[in-house]
Amino acid sequence: MASPRHWLRAAFGALDELCSRAFTPAWNPMLQLGALGWFFFWIVAVSGIYLYVFFDTGITRAYDSIESLTNAQPWAGGVMRSLHRYASDGLVAIAVVHLVREFALDRMRGKRWFAWITGLPLLALIYVSGITGYWLVWDTLAQYVAQTTAELLDVLPLFGEPISRNFVNEVALSDRFFTLMSFLHIAAPLLLLLFMWIHIQRHADARIQPARGLGFVVFGSLLALSLAVPAVSQARANLGAVPAVIDLDWFYLPAYPLVQAWGGAATWQALGGALLLLGLLPWFPRSKAPPVARVSLPDCNGCGRCVEDCPFGALSLEARSDGQSYAVEAVVDPDRCVSCGICVGSCPTATPFRSASTFNAGIELPQVPLAALRDELKTSCASLTGNDRLVIFACAHAGPLDEALRRNSVIARMPCIGMLPPSFIDFAFARRLADGVVLAGCPANACRERLGQRWTEERIAGDRDPWLRARVPRGRIAASWRDDLGAFRRALPGSPAFPVAAKSPAGTALSPGRSRWPAVLRVAAMAIVLGLISGMTALLAAELPWRQLGASESVVRLSIRHVTSPKVACKPLTPQQLAELKPNMRRPVDCPRERWPITVELERDGRLLYRGTHEPSGLWNDGVATMHRAFAVPAGPQSIVVRMRDSGREAGFDHVRSDTIDLQPGQNFVIEFETGAGFTWN
């Protein structure tokens, strides 16, 4: 049975191809998701700086400052705000699709673990940035976010007192938490930027800018979306009421309904479990790594081309260790080398024209020695006949080759097409081994080893060392990611001058007959794809409401903060007890620090809603005993009883309050207890 990864890979293959046709391979967004992530980050950063200039960080003034920004300057502040929101949503979507795609293509296992593992904090930081951002608006969504986040954080042993208490009512509300959120909303994106930089540290020439044309159309779609569906606030936050229905942003807040359904602890367990599973994926199941590249010192002149071409920063030049007159030599870092072979293709000594019957290039993959490749080419090509003989250099990820293409051909496989030294193509023609050469690799711009296809193109074009000699007829070479191989194949027999092969935009043309879409169709397809993505973004960002409370329900919130009395009263020490103590420990009275826990019960219409015991905080249980819980209850008249024991008594309670109250739908009814004040409610 095919694995989920297999299906995912097939799905991404189809999507990649569709996008390559609609956008052309150079603009294909699926092939530059990381670069688009950077692009969206910059849009969020620039628009965020603009918003911050007009934002008032005081909790009472925040809402008005954002409202006035949206309404008083719709073409500047309003658009900036919408760009800020939609680009943030886009960043989540891109990061998630990028994650799934890298998993599907298996570009995260073994030696390639680094980008994956550093990607996970990126995901967390994107969420922290977005969630704190929603908090700052201080509308009903912010109120929901604040209360639910507090509930979630209170499960963790991070804070001495439940932070939910900060959001029970307007009186409890303080600027303190709000200032912390403003700080976090700036610190998290800065940290995100740092991790984005770390994320690409093992990638030489990492692509952090999308193709310019793609950048324009993507920004244009964001702008169009911002104008068509401007981002707005929901109603002003009101802690006296519970917003029953909220327009959630499903990009950032999909876990929040879970907090309500499962509770904070289970939500953390699910999130932690998912993160742990993702973190283990690069090593699960374990795969055997192929041997890494090996430098042959007698053949290495220290030119450094391999260092420049390695896509994974696995090579460096170090001081010479073998006494040769060259200053440096290439050194492989086995922990980074993914055995792609691209360094072999870059080495000037990797040439089949060398006279020795066996030879070594300066750097080689032990499992694909070049001398064996040359010998096999010579032997196998000897059995080809006619004048349409083909040599196909195929990368391990090129996929199955069409039967018509394979006729009268020799196939030489290698881990990546970038491993092919251009001199091998020259060799095939110079020794009359073939009439045509096909390079079969990954789809255009989608090289699995990142740079193999690009370096190959540049070497053939003569833009990169080692280049293909000018004498080689370029028209006799076709590349699967660029040319129509069918047309190329058909043109081979007997044709003295090879026609220039038709180009196939999709690039996966390992079988004949792929055609380029007309421009009108491409533009229409692009518009449809971008329009669909924009529409989905608008829908998920604010148009799919979430009902957190039934229409005829209200909320009872129980919030207690109490300093109980010590378990044992202070008692004076006798002279004899004093004498037994060390001089520096002597004090006239002994006061054990431990205090009584609180046991709380909440009853509604004679039925128990809650019972729990809470220890005082502190290492010696000598701090404040706190608890905070919220309960959705039917609205209407009902009797409420709340009881608390805060002494050593076996039965009964020290504090009780009861009454019949009439709850309005959506009302936030708060029962509080403060030491000295007893139970208060409203």
Interface ranges with ligand HEM (CB under 6 A): 34-35, 37-38, 95, 98-99, 102, 107-108, 112, 115-116, 119-120, 122-123, 126, 196, 199-200, 203, 206-208, 450
* Smallest distance, ligand SF4 to C-beta of residue 459, A: 13
Q: Which of 229, 347, 538, 602 binds ligand SF4 (CB under 6 A)?
A: 347
d(CA 642, CA 655): 8
d(CA 191, CA 186): 9
Residues with Cβ within 8 Å of residue 252, at least 6 apart in sequence: 88, 89, 92, 127, 130, 131, 134
* Smallest distance, ligand SF4 to C-beta of residue 297, A: 9
Q: Which of 136, 337, 501, 555 binds ligand SF4 (CB under 6 A)?
A: 337
> Toward ligand HEM, which CB reaches closer, 120 or 258?
120
Which of ligand HEM, ligand SF4, none interacts with 630 (beta carbon under 5 to 8 A by kind)? none
Q: Which of 79, 168, 244, 315 binds ligand SF4 (CB under 6 A)?
A: 315
Beta-ladder partners of 672: 559, 680
Which residues inside 350-379 make contact with ligand SF4, applying CB under 6 A?
A: 362-363
> Toward ligand SF4, which CB reaches closer, 354 or 503?
354
User: At which residue do the structure tokens 């390695």 appear?
Assistant: 310
d(CA 395, CA 344): 14
Query: Which residue in 251, 233, 260 sits closest to 148, CA to CA?
Result: 260
* Smallest distance, ligand SF4 to C-beta of residue 360, A: 10
* Smallest distance, ligand SF4 to C-beta of residue 365, A: 6
* Smallest distance, ligand SF4 to C-beta of residue 468, A: 17
| Radius of gyration of the CA atoms of the chain, in A | 34
DSSP state of 2: -
Residue nearest to ligand SF4 (CB): 362
Q: Which of 146, 222, 300, 395 binds ligand SF4 (CB under 6 A)?
A: 300
DSSP state of 596: -
* Smallest distance, ligand SF4 to C-beta of residue 211, A: 25
* Residue 545 contacts residue 248 (beta carbons within 8 Å): yes
* Smallest distance, ligand HEM to C-beta of residue 490, A: 35
* Smallest distance, ligand SF4 to C-beta of residue 411, A: 21
DSSP-derived 3-state class of residue 570: coil
Phi/psi at 267 (5° precision): -65, -40
User: At which residue do the structure tokens 């593992």 appear?
Assistant: 117
DSSP state of 103: H
Alpha-carbon distances of 532 from 85, 101, 331, 525, rounded to whole Å: 18, 20, 49, 10
* Smallest distance, ligand HEM to C-beta of residue 451, A: 8
Phi/psi at 165 (5° precision): -60, -25
Which of ligand HEM, ligand SF4, none interacts with 123 (beta carbon under 5 to 8 A by kind)? ligand HEM
d(CA 447, CA 199): 19
Question: Does residue 207 touch ligand SF4 according to CB under 6 A?
Answer: no
Question: Does residue 125 touch ligand SF4 according to CB under 6 A?
Answer: no
* Smallest distance, ligand SF4 to C-beta of residue 420, A: 13
Question: Does residue 295 touch ligand SF4 according to CB under 6 A?
Answer: yes
Question: Does residue 310 touch ligand SF4 according to CB under 6 A?
Answer: yes
* Residue 480 contacts residue 390 (beta carbons within 8 Å): no
> Toward ligand SF4, which CB reaches closer, 164 or 339?
339
CB atoms closer than 10 angstroms to residue 475? 15
Alpha-carbon distances of 62 from 88, 148, 464, 676, rounded to whole Å: 20, 20, 56, 34
* Smallest distance, ligand HEM to C-beta of residue 203, A: 5
To 5 degrees, how large is the angle CA 410–CA 411–CA 416?
Answer: 150
Q: Which of 69, 87, 342, 640 binds ligand SF4 (CB under 6 A)?
A: 342
> Toward ligand HEM, which CB reaches closer, 59 or 95?
95
Of the candidate spans 53-61, 123-131, 332-340, 550-558, the one that interacts with ligand SF4 by CB under 6 A turns out to be: 332-340
Which of ligand SF4, ligand HEM, none interacts with 306 (beta carbon under 5 to 8 A by kind)? ligand SF4
* Smallest distance, ligand SF4 to C-beta of residue 366, A: 11
Question: Does residue 109 touch ligand SF4 according to CB under 6 A?
Answer: no
d(CA 378, CA 654): 97
Query: Which residue in 423, 409, 424, 416 sits closest to 373, CA to CA?
Result: 424
Which of ligand HEM, ligand SF4, none interacts with 295 (beta carbon under 5 to 8 A by kind)? ligand SF4
Which of ligand HEM, ligand SF4, none interacts with 207 (beta carbon under 5 to 8 A by kind)? ligand HEM
> Toward ligand SF4, which CB reaches closer, 217 or 332?
332
Which of ligand HEM, ligand SF4, none interacts with 330 (beta carbon under 5 to 8 A by kind)? ligand SF4
d(CA 422, CA 348): 10
User: At which residue do the structure tokens 């696995």 appear?
Assistant: 314
- Total number of residues that touch ligand SF4 (CB under 6 A): 28
> Toward ligand HEM, which CB reaches closer, 46 or 544?
46
What crossing angle do the helices spanning 33-54 and 79-104 adopt, rounded to 10°?
Answer: 150
> Toward ligand HEM, which CB reaches closer, 59 or 340?
340
* Residue 44 contacts residue 80 (beta carbons within 8 Å): no
Four-point Cα dihedral 293, 297, 303, 306, nearest 10 = 0
Interface positions with ligand SF4 (CB under 6 A): 292-293, 295, 300-306, 310, 312, 314-315, 330, 332, 337-343, 346-347, 349, 362-363
